[in-house]
Chain A
Amino acid sequence: MKHDQAFVIQLANQLMFTLSENEAREINEDFDVLLAQLDLLDDVNTENVEPMAYPFEDETDFLREDVVSHVITQDEALANVKVEDAGLIVVPKVVK
């Protein structure tokens, strides 16, 4: 698979961060090793094998009664927010 610095930066941007030119170059240089390692997956025949998402498939979740529980206060919810006003998180204007 072909890859270059622009491709690596595009992958980063999709996750909402950027890379410097040096960082992108370094990741791009290592990409062939990553691809060679990932090729090892193809040495395993997975025909008719279901994906395994979790170690165990026993049910451990449940539907609880629709009653209020485990409440935190508004102050607690906003305790780590940098800028808040009247109980709301302040962000840059979305509609300009």
Chain B
Amino acid sequence: MNKRVQDKWTMEDIEAAIRHMHQSHEKLNHVVTFVDPRKQLLDVAEGPFHQVPIALKDNVNTKGILTTASSKILSDYVPVYDATITKKLREAGAVVIAKTSLDELGMGGTNLSAATGPVLNPYDLSRISGGSSGGSAVAVASGDVPFAIGSDTGDSVRKPASFCGITGTKPTYGRISRYGIIPYASSLDHVAFFTRNVKDAAIGLGVLAGRDDHDMTSSFLPVDDYENYDANIEGKVFGVLKSVTDYIEDARVLALFDQLLDKLKAKGAIIKEVEIPYNLMKAVWSTYNILSNCEATANHSNLDGLRFGVGVSGESVEEVMTKSRTQGLSFYIRRRFVTGSYGLLQENQEKLFKKAQRVRRLIVEAYRQCFEAADVVLAPASGRIATKLSGSDSDPMSDESLIVENWLVLGNFSGYPSVTLPMGFVDECPIGVNLNTLPFTEKQLFGYCAAVEEVTGYADMVKEVGKDEL
């Protein structure tokens, strides 16, 4: 199915979407819960999403509907309230048909750690979807739904968007309420989402954006009319982030990027290089690793097996908590928590945690300075296509691992808006480009993205997974 949010949808379309999703799930394993839509269909609101079937990442609270965050410890958790974005989408006419798979608790970039097993890439079933919002990415890429919610703490929407050939939008920090989203790292978490074109992304943000008193980090700034973006890039300065492109090893990815720049130049864009000091770029991953895991250990201390979630019996409260957390959290998550625990040791709080917060400030300041020379900053979203399910053997200390595969976290450190959209194909698998602007300038960002979309011609791509795909 390649219908867009902006198209007219019927009840028959919703039924077709549900059938489609059941079929593709058999191949891709991207759904945690199929939502019975009958109750919603009794009262579908008029609005920009009227009768549009959508999917929500399974860390979005949905009243009365199982919400597991793809973790065993939450495998029976049924929220008693809706997230603000669940309400907003329903009020705009959307019909939720599925809750989608994620890396457990949103902590990962592969979707291999989901309690329901790996999510497969529709372009190559032997490859990962990317994560942590892999289930939602695949739901959009395979043509189940035109819109799906994810969350983005490091690059969890923008990287899978690159791997799945779709548009992944992470707006400014505070632009969309996070109330009712199971958190990972509060200073980095964003609600983000997938579409197959820029116009649908602009419509989506128009529905989702706005102040929410339930989320104290939510911005008071007025919401823009995002759909009225201007795709004219004549005279606009596109700043190529040299600090990333210098370390991409795959020449085919660089060639695609250069072709894109040539096309943008032909449309009147001015191409410049911008840079962030090497020592700061090299520290991006370490800064993220400490901040995200330290914050996560605090956020997830409520997973105690007592108030909600799967509890394991024991002789004392401490034993119940310890057993519940040991059995309910996978090794992958417990390994990350060990990093968080290390960062929060008394002797490391200044040396590591506070140090990382200080480095974060310097990285953000250097990133901000890039926008003094450019209207928009861009680079390939990744140095490679989706890796094989069996994993990658890249050197964890290499510039490509530390910089190229982690640079998107600049958008989380800074809170600046950031969008990934398709740029081309390598080995018949998609690879994306990522564009960024200053805070609360999503309207301008959508304009630049629309220009990219126009020159690549990659809007509305769907990769169906028919029965002959296996």
Contact = CB atoms under 8 A, between A and B. Distances in A.
Interface of A: 8, 11-19, 23, 26-27, 33-34, 36-38, 40-44, 46, 49-56, 58, 60-61, 64, 70, 72, 76-77, 79-82, 89, 91-94
B287 A16 contact: no
Contacts of A11: 338, 341-342, 345
A52 B397 contact: no
Contacts of B372: none
Given A51-B358, A80-B77, A44 B283 contact: yes
Given A11-B338, A11-B341, A40-B282, A60 B218 contact: yes
A34 B220 CA distance: 39
Given A12-B338, A18-B326, A54-B187, A79 B78 contact: yes
Contacts of A18: 322, 326
Interface of B: 76-78, 80-81, 173-174, 187, 213-214, 216-220, 279-280, 282-283, 285-287, 289-290, 297, 301, 304-309, 311, 314-322, 325-326, 329, 331, 334-335, 337-342, 345, 352, 354-362, 364, 396-397, 402, 412-416, 439
Contacts of B315: 92
Given A17-B337, A52-B364, A61-B216, 16 more contacts: A12-B341, A15-B325, A16-B304, A16-B325, A23-B335, A38-B352, A43-B282, A46-B362, A49-B362, A50-B361, A58-B219, A60-B216, A79-B78, A80-B78, A81-B308, A92-B319
Given A12-B341, A34-B339, A91-B317, A56 B415 contact: yes
A38 B290 contact: yes
B174 A56 contact: yes
B69 to A, nearest CB: 13
Given A56-B439, A91-B317, A49 B361 contact: yes
A17 B334 contact: yes
Nearest to B411: A55
A55 B415 contact: yes
A96 B335 CA distance: 34
A36 B307 CA distance: 39
A41 B138 CA distance: 36
A15 B174 contact: no
A15 B80 contact: no
Which of B81, B319, B334: most chain A Cβ within 10 A? B334
Nearest to A75: B80
Secondary structure of the A side of the interface? loop
Contacts, number: 164
A76 B80 contact: yes
B217 A94 contact: no
A16 B338 CA distance: 11
B283 A15 contact: no
Nearest to A70: B214
Contacts of A93: 316
A41 B309 contact: no
Contacts of B307: 80-81, 89
17 contacts: A12-B337, A15-B340, A16-B301, A16-B321, A17-B337, A37-B396, A38-B352, A40-B283, A46-B359, A49-B361, A51-B357, A52-B361, A55-B413, A55-B416, A56-B174, A89-B306, A91-B306
A36 to B, nearest CB: 6
Contacts of A81: 306-308
A66 to B, nearest CB: 15
Contacts of A51: 354, 357-358, 360-361
A55 B364 contact: yes
Contacts of B306: 81-82, 89, 91
A24 B218 CA distance: 40
B358 A56 contact: no
B174 A14 contact: no
Contacts of B213: 64
Contacts of B305: 82
Given A38-B352, A55-B173, A60-B220, A49 B358 contact: yes
A55 B219 CA distance: 12
A41 to B, nearest CB: 5
A36 B289 CA distance: 13
B325 to A, nearest CB: 4
A62 to B, nearest CB: 8
A64 B220 CA distance: 15
Contact of B217 (A36, A52, A54): A54
Nearest to B216: A61
Report, nearest first, the 8 A-B pairs whose CB atoms are least far apart: A55-B415, A51-B357, A80-B308, A52-B361, A46-B358, A76-B80, A17-B325, A11-B341
